[in-house]
Structure 1
Amino acid sequence: MSANAAVAAHAVDSRRAWLTVVAAFFASGVTLGTAYSFGAFFESMSEEFDAANGSTALIFGITTCLFFSLSIISGRMSDRFGPRVVLVAGAAALFLGLIATSRVQSLGLGYVTYGLGVGIAAACGYVPMVAVVGGWFEQHRAVAVGLAVAGIGVGTLVMSPVSAALIDRWGWRDTYVFFAVGGAGVMLACVPLVDRPPGDGSPQPSRFKDALGSPVFRRFALSAFALGLALFVPFVFVGQYAKERGIGSVQAAVLVGVLGGSSVLSRVGFGSLVRRFGSFRLYRACLIITTGSFLLWLAAGSSYVMLVLFVLTLGVGYGGFVALSPIVISDRMGVAGLGSILGLMYTAPGIGALVGAPTAGWLIDTTDGYRWSIIWCIAAGSTAVALLTGLPVDKSGRLERASNARG
């Protein structure tokens, strides 16, 4: 065994590896927590700019699309230059984007400042960090990735109700200033904790061609796109739905927080169950849970208890989707160049979010209610589940490992 190989073998699953989990937890938590707390800002921004639901929701759609699609670039940057450079870039984008958003005088300019700022920050703080965590682990990879992405749920759990309370006290503009300073500070604090996965120190290869040439990968990505049409709608609208039914602003924001909180448990829980049930089998179950949860929203009416049950159930499915996606992909494609593969895969639900949330807003404006937007989500989720039918699965419940580079 060479000296480099011996060092790599010692480092994998080591204490040093767990520091990357801490960094990924906080980096993803602060960036995605910021993005997913947008629902708390929705009403204030919509009223100030006299904008329709669909137009205001487009801010979230653009941000989520950029976050996922720019992960192609940030994932590749992490493979090539290392994760520390990516985190610094994300901290700068978050700070500048939120400061600029706090000063915009039109919704259209907010599309640019918030969309680019938070979108770039999330692209830097999530996918590359998850790929790095995956490269630092072998025996405990599923649990480590589950803990890393649990940061998104904790960030959402904390930041959504905090956003509502700060907006009530200080207004939405000052709240973005607070988030700019605090969020950038957290990301910079993560920089010393993260480093390249063990190896010879050379840049990771690009795997775009392998992924795009794989029929299994393409089907998986198309399913993720369909899920993205539905998954992000509640982040924007469930709080607004609750407030229109007489529920207070902080209580309404707590719904998104509960969604994030329940996703924490499922991220860690599903990660620990991979060996027993198989990553793909669990992933498919999560998509079924996600789709079925919208039936609870459809039946909720003005019941806050039913709304809580809806977001709890959705959080379980959503958390599993996030935690298991990297595991399913690495089972199929391997971990070499995983940053570029995950960046490409996550573009699919990002495009789904760009289409799904504004479409739901348009349906709400057109029909003067939420029924048809919820039905839209159910149809999209059902399509996502159907697209997984027929993919090659081994006896352990994982996608079969690709027999060649094209998968």
Structure 2
Amino acid sequence: MRAVIADPGASGAAESRETLPSLELFDSARAWRMVAAAFVAMCAVYGVAYSFGAFFKPMAAEFGADRSATSAVFSITVLIWCCLGPITGHLSDRFGPRIVVATGALFMGLGLALTSVIDRLWLGYLSYGLGVGVGVACAYVPMVAVVGGWFLRRRNTALGIAVAGIGFGTVCGAPIAAALIAHLGWRATYVAFAIATTAILLGCAWIVERPPVHVTPSRVRLADVVRSPAFAFLYTSSVTVSTVIFVPLVYLPSFARDHGASEFASAALVGVIGGASVAGRMGLGSLADRVGVVRLYQASFLVLALSYGLWLIAASYPMMVAFALVMGAGYGGYVALSPAVIAHLFGTQRMGSLLGVLYTSGGIGAMAGPPLVGLIIDRTGSYRVAIAAAFVVALASFALLIPLTRFEPAATRSSAAID
């Protein structure tokens, strides 16, 4: 059976008619296997990446480094995975996701193993930054694009479940890291993480398949979409929010420890963010199928911004938990809905490449945010000024998204110049 249909997710000028191998492949059990593989892959890579807060103090203490220098390890890592997104997305679009994900498995395992034997902090910028950065880049954008291409009716729901793996990994990663560090030390913990992530990602690479629709060359002209006003609003708001979104992942555990919380309880706050983000990613992804993806995306930014107001006044551990819950819900919605917004406004033909370009914004923000916050804390001796600044920046990111509703389907046909 062969059918000719229009992709209903390709709103606007990105709509085109493709020859599909079979309509039955979409939203099928085979398609949901891709969701499962994406969930597991993201759980693995982000569980490691977002556990860095648990390694922060022991690494800083061993190397005698200040907060700004130590947090730069994480910032460089985020910059690398964000900047490589367009490349891994393009390679996945062209050659399929399997070889890209497998390459990421090898890079991540080697990078973590090398980080376990460094004798200078700056070497971690290379080993951890390149290893984990390439690993995340090879897993995230290709796997999200695969999921988007395997679904027609339940695309937003499937994407929400897939990226919920990030939240689940965040829930598990930091507490596991804290427990292992307490018993084995941070170096042996990185070795354990290297073995586990390599095995998991290779298994996901073996499962994942190219989506049923693969058209080369695509009618979507990437340069034209990137220059469109709609994409400009998406990109600038993402740059702005990324400046502050990684700050709690790096500094919230040390903030909690300075306010009397135990090592495990402090690390568990990152897990709370991850747990709340799972609910945000799965719930909003499903709700977007029925309500409206752009407005939900805006709401996620507003919730995320308001959460920093809670952190600013947090003086007890329960208040920190409240901040982590609200921040995680907003962050989860932001991550879950980003691919859905791309598909809604620009279609799915070049989804891997478009997502890759959008996610370079995260690298820009991550390079500025955590090191700047570390510098403010080192200079002032207090977290409050840095948190207040993060609150203002997060509100600005929401304000930048307000005009985006003007570019939904009808406007997108004229603004996102395609073909």
Q: TM-score range by the shorter chain?
A: over 0.9
Tell me whether 1:92 sits opposite 2:106 in the alignment: yes
Question: Equivalent residue of 2:238, what SS?
Answer: helix
- Return the letter of the residue paired with 1:403: S
Equivalent position of 1:267 in the other structure: 281
Distance 1:240 1:406 in 2: 47
Tell me whether 1:125 sits opposite 2:139 in the alignment: yes
Distance 1:8 1:353 in 2: 42
- 5+ residue gaps in structure 1? none
Tell me whether 1:60 sits opposite 2:71 in the alignment: no
Equivalent position of 2:263 in the other structure: 249
Question: Does the CA-based 8 Å contact 1:258-1:312 persist in structure 2?
Answer: yes
1:14 to 2, 11, 28: 28
2:291 to 258, 277, 286: 277
- Following TM superposition, by how much is the alpha carbon of 1:66 offset from its aligned partner in structure 2, in angstroms? 1.0
- Following TM superposition, by how much is the alpha carbon of 1:214 offset from its aligned partner in structure 2, in angstroms? 0.9
Tell me the TM-score normalized by structure 1: 0.96
How well do the aligned residues superpose, as a CA RMSD in angstroms? 1.7
C-alpha change, 1:388 and 1:189, in structure 2 (3 Å) is same
- Return the letter of the residue paired with 2:276: S
Tell me whether 1:375 sits opposite 2:380 in the alignment: no
- Following TM superposition, by how much is the alpha carbon of 1:380 offset from its aligned partner in structure 2, in angstroms? 1.2
C-alpha change, 1:342 and 1:87, in structure 2 (3 Å) is same
- Structure 1, residues 258-306: CA drift from partner, whole Å, max 9, x if none? 10011001101001111332001000000000010011111112x1100
Distance 2:208 2:181 in 1: 33
- Return the letter of the residue paired with 1:240: S
C-alpha change, 1:207 and 1:161, in structure 2 (3 Å) is farther
Distance 1:398 1:148 in 2: 25
Question: Does the CA-based 8 Å contact 2:229-2:415 persist in structure 1?
Answer: no
Distance 1:207 1:306 in 2: 47
Question: Does the CA-based 8 Å contact 1:79-1:205 persist in structure 2?
Answer: no
- Structure 1, residues 38-86: CA drift from partner, whole Å, max 9, x if none? 0000000000010110111111111111111111111111001100011
- Return the letter of the residue paired with 1:351: I
Equivalent position of 1:357 in the other structure: 370
Question: Does the CA-based 8 Å contact 1:290-1:317 persist in structure 2?
Answer: yes
- Following TM superposition, by how much is the alpha carbon of 1:393 offset from its aligned partner in structure 2, in angstroms? 3.9
Equivalent position of 1:176 in the other structure: 190
- Following TM superposition, by how much is the alpha carbon of 1:113 offset from its aligned partner in structure 2, in angstroms? 0.5
Distance 2:198 2:128 in 1: 14
Equivalent position of 2:210 in the other structure: 196
Equivalent position of 2:413 in the other structure: 402
Equivalent position of 1:237 in the other structure: 251
Distance 2:410 2:71 in 1: 35
- Following TM superposition, by how much is the alpha carbon of 1:114 offset from its aligned partner in structure 2, in angstroms? 0.4
1:139 to 144, 150, 153: 153
1:220-235 correspondence to structure 2 within 5 Å = 220-235=234-249
Question: Does the CA-based 8 Å contact 1:225-1:349 persist in structure 2?
Answer: yes
Question: Does the CA-based 8 Å contact 1:78-1:128 persist in structure 2?
Answer: yes
Question: Does the CA-based 8 Å contact 1:29-1:154 persist in structure 2?
Answer: yes
1:25 to 17, 27, 39: 39
Equivalent position of 1:344 in the other structure: 357
Distance 1:190 1:270 in 2: 25
Equivalent position of 1:73 in the other structure: 87
- Return the letter of the residue paired with 1:94: M
Question: Does the CA-based 8 Å contact 1:331-1:401 persist in structure 2?
Answer: no
Distance 2:214 2:26 in 1: 13
- Structure 1, residues 65-110: CA drift from partner, whole Å, max 9, x if none? 1111111111111001100011111100111100000011111110
Question: Does the CA-based 8 Å contact 1:266-1:317 persist in structure 2?
Answer: yes
Question: Does the CA-based 8 Å contact 2:26-2:151 persist in structure 1?
Answer: yes
Tell me whether 1:292 sits opposite 2:306 in the alignment: yes
- Return the letter of the residue paired with 1:29: C
Equivalent position of 2:96 in the other structure: 82
C-alpha change, 1:88 and 1:205, in structure 2 (3 Å) is farther
- Structure 1, residues 230-276: CA drift from partner, whole Å, max 9, x if none? 11100000000011122111110000001001100110100111133
Equivalent position of 2:54 in the other structure: 40
Equivalent position of 2:327 in the other structure: 314
Question: Does the CA-based 8 Å contact 1:207-1:338 persist in structure 2?
Answer: no
1:140-159 correspondence to structure 2 within 5 Å = 140-159=154-173
- Following TM superposition, by how much is the alpha carbon of 1:3 offset from its aligned partner in structure 2, in angstroms? 6.9
Bigger shift: residues 211-220 or 95-104: 211-220
C-alpha change, 1:167 and 1:318, in structure 2 (3 Å) is same
Equivalent position of 1:329 in the other structure: 342
Question: Equivalent residue of 1:196, what SS?
Answer: coil
- Return the letter of the residue paired with 2:24: H
Distance 2:37 2:290 in 1: 28
- Following TM superposition, by how much is the alpha carbon of 1:202 offset from its aligned partner in structure 2, in angstroms? 4.8
C-alpha change, 1:346 and 1:399, in structure 2 (3 Å) is farther
